[in-house]
Amino acid sequence: MIRDLVAGDRGFAGLILLTLLRAGWRVDYRRPPAGRAGRPRGLPVLYCLWHGRQIPLVLSHRHEGITSLVSLNRDGDYVSKVVELLGFPVIRGSSSRGGLEALRRMASVLGSGVDCSITPDGPRGPVYKAKAGLVQISRLGRRPAVPIASSGYPAAVLHSWDSFRLPLPFARMVVVEGRAVPPPPRGVTATQAALHIEHEMIRVTRLADFLSGPSGRLFEAASETAGRMLGPAVAAAMIRRPREERRQRMGIVASRADRPVWMHGSSAGEINGLLPLAAHLRARGVPVHLTCFTPAGREAVERSGVQGSFLPLDNPDWVGRFLRAVGPRALVLAETEIWPNLLLRTLLASVPCISVNARVSAGSLRGYRLLAGGCAGRLLSCFCAVLCRTGDDAARFRALGVDPSIIEVTGDTKALSDPGDPPAEWRERLADCGPVLVAGSTRPGEEEAVAAAAREAGLFPVIAPRHLERLGEVEAALGGLGFRTRRWSEPGPPPDGGCMIVDSRGMLSRLYGCATVAFVGGTIAPFGGHNILEPLLRGIPTVVGPNHGSFAREVARGVEIGAVAVSDREGLSGVFRRMMGCGADPSVMRDLGMSPGREALGRFEEALRRAGVWI
């Protein structure tokens, strides 16, 4: 295959062919924020590119004096002739022939301040698998490795082991240069470091493929145009917001020089799922910057003591300003937050991205497909890992078009967050109410059914609606059933024969500890269910409705040990009575509440290593 491209005694035919091809290409070079690497720009590096993507990069970096490693096989003879004519000094050798001597020579040249290049999956594969030799060259030469990739549309893909891509005449070419990866620190093996560079190479390759195709170009242009056009209107709409919030939403934050891991969760619930991971990183000396979208999330960030801010709104200039100020080494995104400009700018800034507690509902799946076609899935495929809460979530991400190789089912990190037992005054306030039912994160229509069933079962209901703006609606609905209600923030004892309504954020996870039985909302209403791990972590028997798909695995395990029961609307009162006599061991319940979090933490650490965050 290569032989046909470069036939000729001295490679001139191949040179002429490549020069003619390049003359018709339109090349879009995407470089990291610090600018292009390489000796002409003051940073000698080891370029890492895939074997099947060589030709565009040979042309884009011609006559820069980059020393290239070329195999000793027959195809390598032809390739070396062409690349030498294009200004690339050549060292011959590969992993199978002359590898050790070639490695030493490459490291020596690199250490002298000369750029080098290597195809770590050559000369015969496996395709897109980086060998540890590139790390040894980087270490011995004391120079960083730079993942770089090219993609062209349209292109011919040849039937070879490396699926060699040859962009056609007049193709649109995109070259994506990643951030320089320094030689790994002590304690990190060459295999671990090679895996990190491999994932970075895959990331820049997928991003180049995305940006070179018509749908990707349209997606990027539409996102940037919409973000900039809406910017003035959004700024005007924020005029009544506090000054510091307005500045942060426009990306104006304090500069950081410590290269933190950027963690983002939209609201307080997502932030609570990130806090155990943030604590884990900080305990190992890794700084964290925590962002949120909602005011409730900002309150949670402030309570945590972790440095943070509001998320910049999805204007490309505001996102770019934020990235320059914070300089993150990685982004950890909680659940499902697909902001087009934010993700594109972050990926183009060579910031590795990981999604944790990832979830997507059936409705959101339809929405993403309708609004973005396959672009959302292809964009998320540029992540290092998508760590899903459930198997159903993983299936929906695959249906969205996300590369299955980066999808894992890991559970929910919220299980790692133990808020502690409720204060004594909470227990004292409910002491005269008899057995207590705490119904958390309830949705419309659930409050009436749960409160009525609790009264029939002899339980005093404490209702915590999912959204506090519904408090008046909930009070009216319960009043229609004859309940006297009192809000938790109001002074005085609970009303006889009535119920309490929780009107404060951030207390539900501890309030479960006051319950005899817990009910988790969003399970009678068709929302897939909310977090059942919180009551289990307090050792409280838990009841859910039939729509609990978001926590199906945990519900199934809880049912096995008698700690969880499933009921429809009509059977709630009987199930509440039965669960008051639940014989499950509270310590076993607590262990069940923690187990998904421990598994998620282990997988999270693996994803961080692939992203090059060594902890």
Residue 242: CATH number of its domain: 3.40.50.11720
CB-based contacts of 258, cutoff 8 Å, min separation 6:
287
Where is the domain boundary, 391, 416, 441? Answer: 416
Any domain includes 220: yes
In single-letter form, the type of residue at position 173 comes to: M
Any domain includes 502: yes
Mean pLDDT, residues 524-541: 89
Residue 583: CATH number of its domain: 3.40.50.2000
pTM over 0.85: no
| Token output for 573 | 């009162």
Sign of the dihedral through C-alpha 250, 208, 61, 194: positive
- Residue 6 reports pLDDT greater than 70: no
CB crowding 369-400: b at 16 or more within 10 Å, else e: beebebbbbbbbbbbbbbbbbbebbbebbeeb
Considering the domain architecture, whether residues 554 and 450 belong to the same structural domain is answered as: yes
Considering the domain architecture, whether residues 51 and 83 belong to the same structural domain is answered as: yes
- What are 389-439's pLDDT values in tens digits? 878 889 999 999 999 999 998 877 877 777 788 999 999 999 999 999 999
Considering the domain architecture, whether residues 345 and 475 belong to the same structural domain is answered as: no
What is the Cβ-side half-sphere exposure of residue 283, based on CA atoms within 13 angstroms?
Answer: 6
Torsion angle of alpha carbons 146, 151, 157, 158, nearest 10°?
-30
> What integer pLDDT is reported at residue 250 of this predicted model?
96
Considering the domain architecture, whether residues 352 and 484 belong to the same structural domain is answered as: no
Where is the domain boundary, 373, 395, 416? Answer: 416
- What are 34-56's pLDDT values in tens digits? 888 888 778 899 999 999 998 88
Where is the domain boundary, 392, 416, 440? Answer: 416
Considering the domain architecture, whether residues 55 and 146 belong to the same structural domain is answered as: yes
Any domain includes 607: no
Name which of 82, 196, 178 is nearest 135 in CA terms. 196
Look at the chain and report how many structural domains it folds into: 3
Considering the domain architecture, whether residues 386 and 370 belong to the same structural domain is answered as: yes
Any domain includes 513: yes
Any domain includes 612: no
Any domain includes 208: no
Considering the domain architecture, whether residues 77 and 130 belong to the same structural domain is answered as: yes
Provide the 8-state DSSP code for 161.
Answer: T
Considering the domain architecture, whether residues 111 and 182 belong to the same structural domain is answered as: yes
Provide the 8-state DSSP code for 409.
Answer: E
CB-based contacts of 470, cutoff 8 Å, min separation 6:
444
103 vs 590 pLDDT, higher one: 103
For residues 284 and 609, is the Cβ–Cβ distance under 8 A? Answer: no
Provide the 8-state DSSP code for 258.
Answer: S
Considering the domain architecture, whether residues 184 and 126 belong to the same structural domain is answered as: yes
- What is the C-alpha to C-alpha distance for residues 103 and 110, in angstroms, rounded to an integer? 10
Considering the domain architecture, whether residues 341 and 373 belong to the same structural domain is answered as: yes
Considering the domain architecture, whether residues 230 and 355 belong to the same structural domain is answered as: yes
Q: What is the 3-state secondary structure (H, E, C) of 544-571?
A: ECCCCHHHHHHHHHHHHCCCEEECCCCC
Domain range for residue 527? 424-597
- What is the C-alpha to C-alpha distance for residues 220 and 372, in angstroms, rounded to an integer? 11
Considering the domain architecture, whether residues 98 and 156 belong to the same structural domain is answered as: yes
Any domain includes 287: yes
CB-based contacts of 521, cutoff 8 Å, min separation 6:
439, 440, 441, 442, 443, 446, 450, 465, 466, 527, 530
Mean pLDDT, residues 282-289: 95
